[in-house]
């Protein structure tokens, strides 16, 4: 592997590893970041769960919809991973080199396989996060169901904090799984060469950061967080 390809893959891996903890901390706008503001919004949601009149039916429906979404994305990831595995291990009847010879005749087989494996790695990361999100949301449903009713003596602040500690990691895992698609998109550009790969990585992270901090959704959540404060 030549220097440009090595530099491109190292750059991609560094960005991939660093972007999640940075965004969780609110970078690049620590006080007006979608990730940080949603923590406050979810805490307010859990407080409303404990104090509103209905019996959590609407809240259970919202979390149930999130479970369905995570399950759908996880299933889609698994289907694509299986398809990519076929590019590594299956040899069609036509041609002497299979898919490697058809689509990447200019590259050695091992190099083409490295590119496919990188895409699979980003999808596997997303699949892992979606599976973990589904499990955690199930814990959230159990925790909400176990919370005391309005007629019982209870510590509202304590229960709000406890439910928020369960809910935030669950929905954060779902968000991380969705964000993995940005890196899958960037990894696919490695087939075009190291420079398109590096450029796609920068553009993908740039789009992700803009949507997290300067999109209309981020501005709306920021406004809601300020109202809650």
pLDDT digits 0-9 by tens, 148-202: 877 777 788 999 999 999 999 999 999 999 999 999 999 989 988 899 999 999 9
Q: How confident is the model at residue 127 (pLDDT cuts 50, 70, 90)?
A: very high
Which of 225, 218, 198, 166 lies closest to 15, judged by CA? 198
Rounded Cα distance between 104 and 134, Å, is 37
How does 100-111 read in b/e, with b if 16+ C-beta sit within 10 Å? beeebeeeeeee
Measured CA to CA, the distance from residue 4 to residue 45 in angstroms comes to 48
Distances 217 to 15, 34, 184, 192 between C-alpha atoms, Å: 24, 8, 23, 33
DSSP state for residue 125 in the 8-state scheme:
H
- pLDDT for residue 68 is more than 70: yes
**Mind giving me the DSSP string for 185-203?**
HHHHGGGG-HHHHHHHHHH
Whether residue 94 is predicted with pLDDT greater than 60 in this model: the reply is no
Question: Is the peptide bond preceding residue 28 cis, with omega within 30 degrees of 0?
Answer: yes
Supply the pTM of this predicted model.
0.84
pLDDT band of 34, cuts 50, 70, 90: confident
């Amino acid at each position: 592997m030549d220097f440009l390809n090595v530099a491109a893959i190292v750059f991609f891996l560094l960005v991939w590893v660093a972007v999640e903890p940075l965004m969780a901390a609110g970078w690049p706008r620590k006080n007006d970041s979608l990730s940080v503001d949603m923590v406050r919004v979810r805490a307010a949601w859990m407080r409303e769960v404990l104090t509103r009149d209905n019996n959590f039916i609407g809240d259970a429906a919202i979390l149930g919809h999130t479970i369905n979404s995570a399950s759908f994305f996880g299933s889609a990831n698994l289907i694509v991973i299986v398809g990519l595995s076929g590019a590594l291990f299956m040899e069609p009847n036509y041609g002497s080199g299979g898919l490697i010879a058809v689509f990447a005749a200019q590259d050695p087989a091992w190099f083409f396989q490295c590119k496919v494996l990188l895409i699979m790695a980003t999808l596997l990361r997303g699949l892992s996060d979606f599976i973990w999100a589904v499990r955690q949301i199930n814990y959230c449903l159990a925790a909400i169901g176990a919370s005391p009713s309005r007629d019982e003596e209870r510590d509202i602040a304590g229960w709000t904090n406890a439910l928020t500690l369960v809910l935030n990691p669950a929905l954060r895992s779902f968000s991380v799984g969705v964000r993995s698609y940005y890196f899958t998109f960037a990894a696919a550009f490695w087939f075009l060469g190291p420079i398109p790969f590096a450029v796609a990585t920068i553009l993908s992270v740039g789009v992700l950061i803009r949507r997290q901090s300067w999109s209309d959704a981020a501005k709306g959540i920021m406004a809601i967080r300020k109202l809650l404060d």
